[in-house]
């Protein structure tokens, strides 16, 4: 892989794309528990919302095969349109691409079910089109450990950056003095993040 200078994610250059977190697909996930996956996706969405990132949610065949987006995620993102599409690769859908391109953001954070298809395909396509793509692996899930390992390898070979959801959001936050810091750490909903949020509130930040 070609070495590149580190260019951090920021509030100004990043957007979040959530792909196929659907009720039917959730039932087949085996590499992470359904409860943990739901927790992580909702936390990612809430933190991105606190950071005022553009957020895109898309489903495939929700009225026939895979069902709707799981309710907890819908509740976390009131007013966000969910784009349904027939294409397997979300980046083959003109509506999705048009919405993302309209923001001008060049760094796209993906999460999806399944990891090796719904997250990997659009992330790899974004890289091929000259964008930087990141995948929050713990806000994604798939149907076996083999699929998870193969998907991670393929993405890294294609130049996709893999990380976890909390690290990506904290990278964007950057400065704990920002007024959004308490909301971001609270949204992450992890023991260390909750403690930071409580400390920040106590200090009046």
Mean of all residue pLDDT scores within the chain: 93
Q: Which two tokens stand for residue 119?
A: 């997250």
> Catalytic residues, which ones?
118
The pLDDT value given to residue 198: 60
The pLDDT value given to residue 92: 97
- The answer on pLDDT for 29 being more than 60 is yes
What kind of fold does domain 14-174 have according to CATH? Answer: Rossmann fold (3.40.50)
The pLDDT value given to residue 5: 82
The pLDDT value given to residue 197: 56
Using CB atoms within 10 A of its CB, is residue 132 exposed (0-12), middle (13-18) or buried (19+)? buried
- The answer on pLDDT for 195 being more than 60 is no
Band the pLDDT of 49: cuts 50, 70, 90: very high
* Mean pLDDT on 112-123: 98
Name the least confident of 17-21, 117-121, 125-129, 181-185. Answer: 181-185
Q: Find out whether 140 and 165 touch, Cβ atoms under 8 Å.
A: no
**Domain residue spans of the chain:** 14-174
Q: Which two tokens stand for residue 42?
A: 């909702």
Q: Find out whether 85 and 125 touch, Cβ atoms under 8 Å.
A: no
Separation of alpha carbons 61 and 68, rounded Å: 9
The pLDDT value given to residue 65: 87
Q: Find out whether 181 and 70 touch, Cβ atoms under 8 Å.
A: no
Separation of alpha carbons 181 and 113, rounded Å: 29
The pLDDT value given to residue 196: 59
Name the least confident of 3-7, 134-138, 154-158, 198-202. Answer: 198-202
- Dihedral sign (CA 76, 79, 80, 81): positive
Query: β-strand 55-60 against 107-112: which pairing, if any?
Result: unpaired
Classified as helix, coil or strand, 135 is strand
- The answer on pLDDT for 163 being more than 60 is yes
* Mean pLDDT on 181-195: 79
């Amino acid at each position: 892989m070609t070495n590149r200078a580190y260019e951090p994610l920021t509030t100004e250059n990043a957007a979040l794309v959530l792909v196929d977190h659907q009720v039917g697909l959730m039932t087949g996930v085996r590499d992470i528990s359904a409860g943990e996956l739901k927790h992580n996706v909702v936390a990612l969405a809430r933190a991105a919302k606190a950071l005022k990132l553009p957020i895109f949610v898309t489903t495939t065949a929700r009225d026939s095969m895979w069902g709707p987006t799981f309710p907890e995620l819908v509740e976390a993102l009131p007013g966000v349109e969910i784009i349904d599409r027939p294409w397997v690769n979300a980046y083959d859908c003109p509506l999705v691409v048009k919405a993302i391109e309209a923001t001008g953001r060049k760094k796209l954070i993906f999460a999806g079910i399944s990891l090796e298809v719904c997250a990997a395909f659009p992330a790899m396509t974004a890289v091929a089109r000259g964008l930087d793509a990141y995948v929050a692996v713990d806000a994604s899930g798939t149907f076996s450990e083999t699929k998870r390992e193969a998907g991670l390898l393929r993405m890294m070979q294609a130049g996709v950056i893999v990380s976890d959801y909390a690290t990506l959001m904290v990278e964007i936050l950057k400065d704990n003095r920002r007024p959004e810091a308490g909301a971001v750490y609270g949204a992450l909903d992890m023991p260390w993040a909750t403690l930071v949020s409580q400390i920040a509130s106590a200090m009046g930040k």
